[in-house]
Amino acid sequence: MLTRQRGSAVRRPSRYGNGEAQVHLRGLLTENLYLNLERSGATAATCGSGVTYGRPAPLESARWWARNTEAGAGSGAVDWPCRSMTQSVVVQVGQCGNQIGCCFWDLALREHAAVNKKGIYDEAISSFFRNVDTRVVGDGGSISKGKICSLKARAVLIDMEEGVVNEILQGPLRDVFDSKQLITDISGSGNNWAVGHKVFGSLYQEKILEKLRKSAEHCDCLQCFFIIHSMGGGTGSGLGTFLLKVLEDEFPEVYRFVTSIYPSGEDDVITSPYNSILAMKELNEHADCVLPIDNQSLFDIISKIDVMVNSGKLGAAIKPKSLVTSSTGVFKKRQEKPFDAMNNIVANLLLNLTSSARFEGSLNMDLNEISMNLVPFPQLHYLVSSLTPLYTLADVNIPPRRLDQMFSDAFSKDHQLIRADPRHSLYLACALMVRGNVQISDLRRNIERLKPSLQFVSWNQEGWKTSLCSVPPVGHSHSLLALANNTCVKPTFVELRERFIRLYKKKAHLHHYLQIEGMEESCFSEAVSSLSALIQEYNQLDATKSMPVEDLPRLNVAV
Ligand SMILES: Nc1nc2c(ncn2[C@@H]2O[C@H](COP(=O)(O)OP(=O)(O)OP(=O)(O)O)[C@@H](O)[C@H]2O)c(=O)[nH]1
Ligand SMILES: [Mg+2]
């Protein structure tokens, strides 16, 4: 495996290199492809001439891919312009992390199936999936070219309870993961960061490392780890952030993107402010980029859509498998839970974020460019995300005016995935990641149009980064993910600190933490200081807001 050197496009060997080992089965199976997708679109893969290897397909319907694509009608990879693609590994931790993660895999499979009509294992699909010959005992043989045989997600699933992971393994996504990618325990961390971080961290460190190394060995050029977790639960916050340090030590050149779900004010985990504050310190120190997402915002968005649907505003025009209405279907025979729709939004954020890595486009943004362009100072690596379309789901062929509206929406308060209003705060930088039939001229026009209403730091007035991926989300003509390094993230942190102080002043629930070996009161005071220092950085930036914009000539680099 090779890893991409930070900040450059140069590849260099790493100590995990064993690319050759993976290709020895290349071409072994180029027979028929049959990918079984349930109604929901979730996939289980089989290989051979109608013969199912490994676990039997979940539904008689089977051969979805072959039927719904041209897989049976010959071969030929999707004809992308030549670009060397990299691979990423998703590490989903705790209940929340695993539920969102599975939503992502479900939708990612649908996206690839919609594009990869011939069922060929190409570079696009290899960025997040391995192609495996399940007839090979042990690890299954990786197949790097030819027909898709059996797809395995490049993922590590970790939960200190078994329930959620077991449910996944009984659902339609079961064949996308194998037991070698899972780490579970029975008791859970009891909503206690200290149990997740200190107890399970040391207990499972070796096992976690082993799984991560294995997933890295399966990559030719590993670029990113995507960690998904909640800040409020014990496993997500505790073990999720323990893992970050492990990744930093073991894979220093691989980027760590963390999707962190922040608890709402009415969260049923009473200790969530403790867990979140303790986790924040680790995120501050060991993450490259954090995408904070507030459960309250997700809830508000879903509630608004419900109101719109029920009031008939969107009416029958709403697409059944649209961005937020599609039932995930990744859990076996389950009633839709309140989190499902919310998780779909987060999964869509991840789809858009990774679309450049998964598909080609006229203006591709490498994942390392996000951190390089949007994070000017290492601590200020929290990116506020907004996603559109969220509400105008019925629009398919959006005329130009609507396209412009999509750009405006990305900056509006009710499209943010945390409760924030970026228009009234200060931008350090902003990325616009567009998918679908959108031209560079559309991007330019909209940036020019929006610029006067947005405040950027004086030294980065042109702090825009843009990307165009030609493949839109399934069922949409285009979509936009905006990532803003903006001081509007501060109130989320201030509110969290207030909630923490309310509990901590009374020393409520503290004994549950202090009885864990390695936990002392100083852990709390250091964590809250770390958060206060971060808030202070945003304060200092905000203080420059009213300063006149410097009109400095752009630097010319001498060559
Ligand atoms: N958006 C979203 N939030 C979730 C989901 N599941 C749990 N949460 C939130 O996550 C927090 C609880 O964390 P969990 O992920 O359930 O806990 P865990 O990581 O499994 O940790 P323990 O159960 O304590 O071992 C609360 O704030 C919940 O509201 C989910 O599927 N989606
Ligand atoms: Mg749990």
Tokens of 471: 């493949």
**pLDDT, position 478:** 87
Q: Give the atom of ligand 1 at the shortest distance from the alpha carbon of 190.
A: 24
**Is residue 194 predicted with pLDDT exceeding 60?**
yes
* Distance from the alpha carbon of residue 298 to the mean position of ligand 2, in angstroms: 20
Cβ(263) – ligand 1 distance below 6 Å: yes
Cβ(342) – ligand 1 distance below 6 Å: yes
| Atom 5 of ligand 1, nearest CA residue | 96
Residue 92 dihedral angles phi and psi, to the nearest 5°: -105, 125
Q: What percent of the chain has pLDDT over 70?
A: 74
CB-based contact 194:516 (threshold 8 Å) = yes
Cβ(160) – ligand 1 distance below 6 Å: yes
* DSSP-based three-state secondary structure for 33: strand
Cβ(385) – ligand 1 distance below 6 Å: no
pLDDT tens-digit readout, 321-363: 455 544 444 544 444 566 998 999 999 999 999 999 899 777 8
Overall average pLDDT of the 286-295 stretch: 98
Cβ(273) – ligand 1 distance below 6 Å: no
Query: Which pairing describes strands 129-133 and 151-153: parallel, antiparallel, or unpaired?
Result: antiparallel
With both helix axes pointing from N to C terminus, report the angle between 272-286 and 490-505 in degrees, rounded to the nearest 10: 130
The reported pTM is 0.84
How much is the mean pLDDT over the chain?
Answer: 81
Neighbours of ion ligand 2 (CB under 5 A): 95, 161, 188
202 CB-side CA count, 13 A: 7
Q: Give the atom of ligand 1 at the shortest distance from the alpha carbon of 164.
A: 20
Overall average pLDDT of the 284-296 stretch: 97
Instruction: Choose one of 159, 192, 230 to mutate for the ligand 1 pocket test, by most ligand atoms within 8 angstroms of C-beta.
Output: 230
CB-based contact 505:255 (threshold 8 Å) = no
Cβ(456) – ligand 1 distance below 6 Å: no
Residue with tokens 């026009």: 445
**pLDDT, position 10:** 28
Amino acid at 171: G
Cβ(94) – ligand 1 distance below 6 Å: yes
Least confident of 47-51, 152-156, 503-507: 47-51
* Distance from the alpha carbon of residue 428 to the mean position of ligand 1, in angstroms: 31
Query: Which pairing describes strands 155-159 and 182-184: parallel, antiparallel, or unpaired?
Result: parallel
Q: What is the DSSP letter of 416?
A: B
> SS3 string of 65-83?
HHHHCCHHHCCCCCCCCCC
Q: Which ligand is nearest to the CA of 99?
A: 1
CB-based contact 269:233 (threshold 8 Å) = yes
* Distance from the alpha carbon of residue 236 to the mean position of ligand 1, in angstroms: 7
CB-based contact 114:475 (threshold 8 Å) = no
Q: Give the atom of ligand 1 at the shortest distance from the alpha carbon of 196.
A: 25
Instruction: Choose one of 91, 92, 93, 96 to mutate for the ligand 1 pocket test, by most ligand atoms within 8 angstroms of C-beta.
Output: 96
**Is residue 220 predicted with pLDDT exceeding 80?**
yes
**pLDDT, position 2:** 58
**Is residue 47 predicted with pLDDT exceeding 60?**
no
User: Which pLDDT band, with edges at 50, 70 and 90, does 303 fall under?
Assistant: confident
Amino acid at 411: F
Name the maximum alpha-carbon separation found in the chain: 70
Q: Give the atom of ligand 1 at the shortest distance from the alpha carbon of 93.
A: 19
CB-based contact 150:140 (threshold 8 Å) = yes
Q: Which ligand is nearest to the CA of 235?
A: 1
**Is residue 548 predicted with pLDDT exceeding 90?**
no
| Atom 6 of ligand 1, nearest CA residue | 96
**pLDDT, position 528:** 98
Nearest CA-CA partner of 22 in 215, 181, 211:
215
* Distance from the alpha carbon of residue 148 to the mean position of ligand 1, in angstroms: 34
* Distance from the alpha carbon of residue 239 to the mean position of ligand 2, in angstroms: 11
Residue with tokens 């011939």: 118
Tokens of 124: 């696009």
Q: Give the atom of ligand 1 at the shortest distance from the alpha carbon of 293.
A: 1
**pLDDT, position 35:** 34
Strand intervals (E) in 417-477: 426-436, 455-456, 464-469
CA dist 456 and 454 (Å) reads 6
pLDDT: which is higher, 467 or 328: 467
Overall average pLDDT of the 199-220 stretch: 97
pLDDT tens-digit readout, 236-267: 999 999 999 999 999 999 999 999 999 998 88
Cβ(261) – ligand 1 distance below 6 Å: yes
